[in-house]
Amino acid sequence: MHELSVISSVVDAVLDSLQKYPGARVMEVRLRVGALASVIEDSLQFCYGIATESTPLEGSRLVVNMVPVTVYCEGCGAEGPIESLQSFRCSACGAPASHVRQGRELEIEAIEIEEAEEVK
């Protein structure tokens, strides 16, 4: 539901980072999104098209890499994936595990840009 706010923040951050590369065009933006981040890829893609219009990001690809949830188990010390988002239990011993180690990410990993020819 807040995908448009998320994408607007992405566009702002990318535009900021483009200041070092005047005239560059963005080809691709790669995100890392945790399974617990509450955003849906389809909505991100939809909002991306709208939010990038008339910016140096227009027409670029949005790649969303999903990050699965892993938890740390205080009981047995194992760190591993959970079976589903409906059960936060250690995959090794089955005990309830509430320490989420990954899966909340909402990050811009990298961008691919095409730099402008240098003016001689």
Partner 1 sequence: MTTRIVELRQGILKKNDELARGLRSRFESAGVLVLNLVSSPGTGKTAFLERTLRELRGRGARVAALVGDLETDNDARRLAASGAPVRQINTHGICHLEAEMVGKHLQDWSGVALEQLDYLFIENVGNLVCPSSYDLGERIRVALLSVTEGEDKPLKYPTLFNSADAAVITKMDIAEAVGFEREAALKNIREIRPNIHIFETSAKTGAGMGAWLDYLAEAKAVKAV
Diameter of the chain measured on Cα atoms: 66
CB nearer partner 1, residue 14 or residue 67:
14
Regarding 31 and contact with partner 1 (CB under 8 A), the answer is: yes
What are residue 89's DSSP bridge partners? 96
The answer to whether 42 contacts partner 1 (rule: CB under 8 A) is no
Tell which residue, 17, 47, 40, has the closest CA to residue 112.
17
Task: Provide the pairing of β-strand 61-67 with 25-34.
Answer: parallel
Task: Please state the closest distance from residue 80 (CB atom) to partner 1, in A.
Answer: 16
Give the residue, chosen from 27, 66, 76, 93, that forms a contact with partner 1 under the rule CB under 8 A. Answer: 27
End-to-end alpha-carbon separation of the chain, Å? 48
Q: Does 36 bind partner 1 (CB under 8 A)?
A: yes
Question: 94's torsion region: left (phi>0), alpha (psi -120 to 50) or beta?
Answer: left
Stretch that binds partner 1, among 46-54, 58-66, 104-112 (CB under 8 A): 104-112
Angstrom CA distances, 71 to 34, 106, 118, stand at: 13, 17, 49
Sole binder of partner 1 in the list 77, 81, 98, 101 (CB under 8 A): 98
**119 touching partner 1, by CB under 8 A:** no
> Contact residues for partner 1 (CB under 8 A)?
1-2, 5-6, 9-10, 13-14, 17, 21, 27, 31, 36-39, 85-89, 96-98, 100, 104, 106-117
